[in-house]
Amino acid sequence: MKTILIYIIGCLIAYCLGSISPSLLFSKMKKTDLRKDGSGNLGASNTTLLLGWKFGVLVGLIDILKGTIPVLLARFLFPGLSYLPFAVALCAVLGHIFPFYLKGKGGKGFATFMGIILGLDWRFFIIIGVTVIIVTLVTDYIVIGTFTAIFSFPIWLILISNVKWSFLLILPLTVIIFVKHIENIGRIIRKEEKGISHTFKKKK
């Protein structure tokens, strides 16, 4: 019973932490509604495209920490509960994508997904982080780098993780984040998607 309670409380805390939206705060400061412009979501990518790379980087860092902090707390406070870090990882990203106070209309989850990777396996975070940067710069599209990370991490867990079925708690995030980004692929095909090069040309 105690273990179940720890899982429930841990998942609730992770969800609430994940639901914090720095992009919403910054958009109000800049008098811009990210939910109506660009891709229409409250994530680091849309913040970068509409508010500039400085705000985008700051939002991205905060969103990453929203995933890293609950995972690290779960790992170090309850080392005997091997599935807890993966459960809170799932809930942190779900909180980012589906915040209760915004009627489930949050970001697309990639930065927080990277945050849970950092908390769960820093080695893969470095590998995929470098890979995502290279892929994004080569293709000029953040979404291509995003797909690289969300599809490769479950595979990494299958091959490397000591927690046998841990990938099953991450796989739903891969599916949800992919679906959330399908519209970006459509815009790329129609040549309507703004590339990363456009971001660096933006003024402050």
Q: Which pLDDT tens digit goes with each residue over 34-80?
A: 776 666 677 776 777 777 778 888 888 999 999 999 999 999 999 99
- The pTM of the whole model exceeds 0.75: yes
pLDDT in tens, 4-29: 999 999 999 999 999 998 887 887 77
Least confident residue range of 32-36, 129-133, 153-157 = 32-36
Question: What percentage of residues in the chain have a pLDDT greater than 70?
Answer: 89
pLDDT band at 185; cut points 50, 70, 90? confident
Average pLDDT for 152-180: 93
Note the pLDDT of residue 203.
46
CB burial of residue 35 (10 Å; 0-12, 13-18, 19+): middle
Residue 93 has phi, psi (to 5 degrees) of -70, -40
For 26, other C-beta atoms within 10 Å of its C-beta total 20
Average pLDDT score over the chain: 87
Q: Report whether 89 contacts 15 (CB < 8 A).
A: no
Give the residue extent of every domain in the chain.
Answer: 2-201
